Amino acid sequence: MKLDIDQANQTAIERMMTSRPILKTVARAGDVIPGLEEDLLLHAGPPIEWERMSGPLKGAVIGALIFEGKAKDESQAAELAASGEIRFAPCHHHQSVGPMAGVTSSSMAVYVVENQAEGDGGGNLAFSNLNEGYGKVLRYGAYAPEVLDKLHWMNDTMAPLLTRALEVSGGLDLRTLLAEALHMGDEGHNRNKAGSILYLKLLAPHLAAVSKDNAELAEVLRFLGDNALSVLNPVMAACKAMADAAHGVEGSTVVTAMARNGTDFGIRVSGLGGAWFTAPAATPEGLYFSGFTAADANPDIGDSTITETTGIGAFAMAAAPAIVSFVSGKPRDAIEATLEMYEITAGEHRHFTIPPLDFRGSPTGIDIRRVVELGVTPRVNTGIAHREPGIGQVGAGLVRPPIEIFEQALLAYAEKYSL
Amino acid sequence: MKLDIDQANQTAIERMMTSRPILKTVARAGDVIPGLEEDLLLHAGPPIEWERMSGPLKGAVIGALIFEGKAKDESQAAELAASGEIRFAPCHHHQSVGPMAGVTSSSMAVYVVENQAEGDGGGNLAFSNLNEGYGKVLRYGAYAPEVLDKLHWMNDTMAPLLTRALEVSGGLDLRTLLAEALHMGDEGHNRNKAGSILYLKLLAPHLAAVSKDNAELAEVLRFLGDNALSVLNPVMAACKAMADAAHGVEGSTVVTAMARNGTDFGIRVSGLGGAWFTAPAATPEGLYFSGFTAADANPDIGDSTITETTGIGAFAMAAAPAIVSFVSGKPRDAIEATLEMYEITAGEHRHFTIPPLDFRGSPTGIDIRRVVELGVTPRVNTGIAHREPGIGQVGAGLVRPPIEIFEQALLAYAEKYSL
């Protein structure tokens, strides 16, 4: 039988688009993420060992080991991390995603998203940790006491309340939320302002109904409402659920994961199994917070490119003209970004539509053939981490993956399918 | 001294733009609105007597009289309204505004907005009733038992909680909220989706902190969150506060009120004192709810055009491309609407900026000279009420005021200033 690549790609993006990711609950990572044992730390991006990890990823590993009570301080933690007693694995190997460093350990609370798909390929679960907000945060490699205090508050106070609220909610439909947020100036990756307050709006009555302590409730409502990235992590888990549904379609050249560990940028392709294609990550170009410059920037890091993988983020930037004040450029650049991405994608999203483009569906399903043929790599919106561990975010901007990884993938594809 | 009209207009719009409307509290209308005695009903638009009132305004008057316990049913209420025992006055004569019928009686809870201006002309208060949400509602002329039940719940349950929450909040800055909502796809009049959940986000922690009954709290959070017009009424009071600050500038040709009572469209002008210039209101063109057609539509009604008066609503429509699915047209029409309004306005807003137009300030301060000279009337986004009392909303669309009222105003201006 002749290989119909276009047909395989349509199957893949159809599975992506008919996925219906429902936020079901918040649970302890070790209880729900398959294979997440106590000696394992998940991290963003493709596989990497301690020695090659960048500053922010090392910082987050140190923080997680202190958080877990496995180390008392930075030096103990670094020693333990280097000892071989701790294993590392990509979040992506465990149905998970995490923004920036993405470090997730067994005691941490995580969102659980279930894909209640309308078509084939559903039923899968995906996971993501909770968003910490701004300032000094673990995901940007900070691990000072206040960072860990906040993580403990999130785990011990906010997470149980979220669990009970989500239980009585019956689950939140994240595809609907995302579709609405794209009509409210979000692109779903770097700009989740609307999505985060839509999320708050959906949760608030349930939180009120289950709370037994209104001072605590007020604190949780304020934390979720003030953090314009509150919904980023549920959204990432939703995108992971959609991308995983599209993975494993024989003959498909559609990208089903793009992820960076701060050192390498890696992709996986629907028809190419579990293989990662990797090359050194570039450093984003963007706007820096006061006191920082490009010299402080770590190379691109995080699993949040799962958003671009499923047709939002930089791919839906035309929906979010106001984002340019955060990542640089003019509103017209946001339109151009989306228009360019139609050139390298297999279809247009049925649910994610872009009002300024006459409600055209967002460009969805990166086709490695087109990337290589046109020499146009995917666009990515991203935060920028400081290159040293322990510091945090220094800015936000735009970046692209190295084209070599698409070339490698295409070669592997030609080999596997004997083209 | 020579009359410098342009200078007078700059003074007027400067006062409009340096106004800082703060939502201070919710209170009983009769306790805070100057002159709102028990025998007085406030209504939208320019002055009108019972006999000339349109169906939806009559319906809202009937509902308010039953709500106040002054009548037992429709026929008693209609008789009382016609008897001369009840006085009617525009909301605008009492520092107030109300959407659609705008009927406000002394027992109703109202928002209190204080203009903490940075420049001249501040310190004024403005008022608006609470938004009832969708379906059968008083403001569209419905007065069935469930309409009045909801009003009583709003008055007796929600309002006291809002009062206590606003008290501990210290006041909410509505100009900042509006500026943010315009970057999230709202235009602030017909589309207040983002503004309403920003409002919920600001209120929620305070509501939680003051609530003593979490079932009630959950109900209030759900009501505010599910109503994408929750913030319309505070926003209208904010616009009224800004417009009033611009009123009374000697020699200014800037419009400081546009309002419709369902029969007449009226305007007031900064340099022309309390005079109204009126003509029959047109019927909006737009999209109708299932089961209704243009034949059901009442002429244009409501004080909500105070939004267009202060540079938002249809004037900022370019910020809200998704609104066209509600009011008709294409996203490009939304851009054109705003661009056209620059032709008839005295300036560009310093705080209300429009991302798709490269963050250009919204067109602000309608100049009656330009309207008449160019024959371009202001654009208005609006809901559409059924022409009969007791029914409710039948659609949403676009409308313009009759040009005669601008011509009348310009003649009056020429006479007053001996031009």
- Please provide the DSSP assignment of A226-257 as one string: H-TTTTHHHHHHHHHHHHHHHTT-TT--BEEE
| Dist. CA B309–CA B299, nearest whole Å | 19
Q: Residue A3 has what pLDDT?
A: 84
Q: Are A218 and B206 an interchain contact pair (Cβ–Cβ within 8 Å)?
A: yes
What is the model's pTM? 0.96
- Shortest alpha-carbon distance between residue B330 and chain A (Å): 7
pLDDT per position as a tens digit, B376-408 = 999 999 999 999 998 989 999 999 999 999 999
Q: How many CB atoms lie within 10 A of CB A70?
A: 18
Q: Average pLDDT for residues B211-236, to the nearest whole number?
A: 98
Which of A216, A217, A357 is the best substitution to test chain B (most B C-beta atoms within 10 A)?
A217
Residue of A nearest to B218 (CA): A205
Cα distance between residue A141 and residue B215, in whole Å: 41
Give the residue-averaged pLDDT of A227-253: 98
Query: How much of chain B, in percent, has pLDDT values that exceed 70?
Result: 100
**CB < 8 Å to A358, chain B:** 330-332
Of B198, B204, B321, the CB nearest to A221: B204
Q: What residues in B contact A186, CB-CB < 8 Å?
A: 184
Chain A residues within 8 angstroms (CB to CB) of chain B: 183-186, 193-194, 197-198, 200-202, 204-206, 208-209, 211, 214-215, 217-219, 221-222, 225-226, 321-322, 324-325, 330-332, 355-359
Closest to A322 (Cβ–Cβ): which among B183, B193, B202? B183
pLDDT at B375 over 90: yes
Considering only CB atoms, which chain B residues are within 8 Å of A331?
355-359
| pLDDT range class, residue B329, cuts 50, 70, 90 | confident
Nearest to A218 among B197, B205, B325 (CB): B205
Mean model confidence pLDDT for chain A: 96
What's the pLDDT tens digit per position in A136-183? 999 999 999 999 999 999 999 999 999 999 999 999 999 999 999 999
How far off is chain A from B354, nearest CA to CA, in Å? 9
Between chains, do B204 and A197 touch, taking CB under 8 Å as contact?
no
Please identify which residue in the block is written with the tokens 């919710």: B26
The per-residue pLDDT for A38 is 97
Residues of A in contact with B321 (CB under 8 A): 355-356
Query: What does the pLDDT average to over B85-112?
Result: 98
DSSP E strand boundaries for B181-295: 255-261, 264-269, 277-280, 285-288
For chain A, how many residues are written? 419
Distance from CA of B185 to the nearest CA of A (A): 5
Do A355 and B215 count as a contact with CB atoms less than 8 A apart? no
What is the residue-averaged pLDDT of chain B? 96
Whether residue A218 and residue B225 make contact (CB cut-off 8 A), yes or no, is no
Mutate one of A183, A187, A327 to test the B interface: name it (highest B CB count within 10 A).
A183
**Inter-chain residue contact A197 with B193, CB threshold 8 Å:** no
Token pair recorded at residue A38 = 């106590």
Closest CB from B208, B331, B359 relative to A208:
B208
Rounded CA separation B274/B247 (Å): 9
- Selecting from B185, B211, B330 the residue whose C-beta is nearest the C-beta of A185 gives B185
Is there a contact between B225 and A208 if contact means CB atoms under 8 Å apart? no
> Chain B residues within 8 A (CB-CB) of chain A?
183-186, 193-194, 197-198, 200-202, 204-206, 208-209, 211, 214-215, 217-219, 221-222, 225-226, 321-322, 324-325, 330-332, 355-359
Report CB contact under 8 Å: B330, A219.
no
Residues of B in contact with A214 (CB under 8 A): 208-209, 211, 214
Confidence of residue B270 (pLDDT cuts 50, 70, 90): very high
Which residue in the set A206, A225, A358 is minimally distant from B201, CB to CB?
Answer: A225
Mutation for testing the A interface, residue in B216, B222, B324 having most A CBs under 10 Å: B222
Q: How far is B383 from chain A (nearest CA, A)?
A: 20
Chain B CB contacts of A322 under 8 Å are: 183-184, 355
Residue of B185, B214, B225 lying closest to A183 (CB–CB): B185
Q: Do B222 and A205 touch (CB under 8 A)?
A: yes
Chain B residues with CB inside 8 Å of A202's CB? 225
Q: Which two tokens mark A368?
A: 């490695």
Residue B419 pLDDT level (bands cut at 50, 70, 90): confident
What are the chain A neighbours of B206 within 8 Å (beta carbons)? 218
| Helix H or strand E encompassing B362 | strand B360-366
Number of alpha carbons in the 13 Å side-chain half-sphere of residue A307: 31
Q: Using the beta-carbon criterion (under 8 Å), do B205 and A193 form an inter-chain contact?
A: no
Q: Which of A248, A191, A266, B382 is nearest to A257 (CA)?
A: A266
Calculate the alpha carbon distances from A400 to A340, A357, A375, A391, B342 in Å.
13, 23, 12, 24, 39
**pLDDT bucket at B146, cuts 50 / 70 / 90:** very high
Q: State the nearest Cα–Cα gap between B271 and chain A, in angstroms.
A: 37
What pLDDT score was predicted for residue A371? 98
pLDDT at A211 > cutoff 70? yes
Q: Which residues of B touch A193 (CB under 8 A)?
A: 184
Side by side, which strands form the sheet with B380-385? B285-288, B393-399, B380-385
Does residue A1 surpass a pLDDT of 70?
A: no
For residue A300, give how far its alpha carbon lies from the nearest alpha carbon of chain B (Å): 27
What does the pLDDT read at residue B1?
57
Q: Do A225 and B211 touch (CB under 8 A)?
A: no
Cβ contacts below 8 Å, chain A against chain B, sum to 107
Instruction: Determine the average pLDDT of the residues in A304-328.
Output: 94
- Reported as a single tens digit per residue, the pLDDT across A269-290 is 999 999 999 999 999 999 999 9
Three-state secondary-structure class, residue B40: strand
Interface contact flag, B358 A330, Cβ < 8 Å: yes
Contact B184 A185 (CB under 8 A): yes
* Residue A122 pLDDT exceeds 90: no
Residue at A377: amino acid letter: T
Sign of the Cα pseudo-torsion (B89, B95, B100, B104, in order): negative
Per the listing, tokens 């592997």 go with A412
Whether residue A188 contacts residue A182, with contact meaning beta carbons closer than 8 Å, is answered with yes
Q: Under an 8 A CB cutoff, do B331 and A358 touch? A: yes
Query: How close B168 gets to chain A, by Cα (Å)?
Result: 12
Contact A221 B205 (CB under 8 A): yes
Residues A44-78 have pLDDT tens digits of: 999 999 999 999 999 999 999 999 999 999 999 99
| Residues in chain A closer than 8 A to B325 (CB atoms) | 359
Q: Do A208 and B214 touch (CB under 8 A)?
A: yes
pLDDT at A49: 97
Cross-chain residue pair A331–B358, CB shorter than 8 Å? yes
Which domains, from first to last, does chain B contain? 21-235 (3.90.1710.10), 247-416 (3.90.1700.10)
Nearby residues of B163 by Cβ (< 8 Å), 6 or more positions away: B25, B26, B27
DSSP designation for A367:
B
Distances (CA, A) of B415 to A294, B117, B275: 64, 32, 13
Partner-chain contact A214 B209, CB within 8 Å: yes
| C-alpha distances in Å from residue A301, one per residue of A127, A288, A403 | 18, 16, 17
Q: Are B110 and B33 in contact (CB under 8 A)?
A: yes
pLDDT for the residue numbered A175: 98
Assigned token pair, B256: 């400081």
Mention every residue, 6+ apart, whose C-beta is less than 8 A from residue B216.
B157, B161
pLDDT at B278 over 90: yes
**CA distances for B324 relative to A25, A245, A246, B95, angstroms:** 36, 34, 33, 32
Q: Residue A91: pLDDT above 80?
A: yes
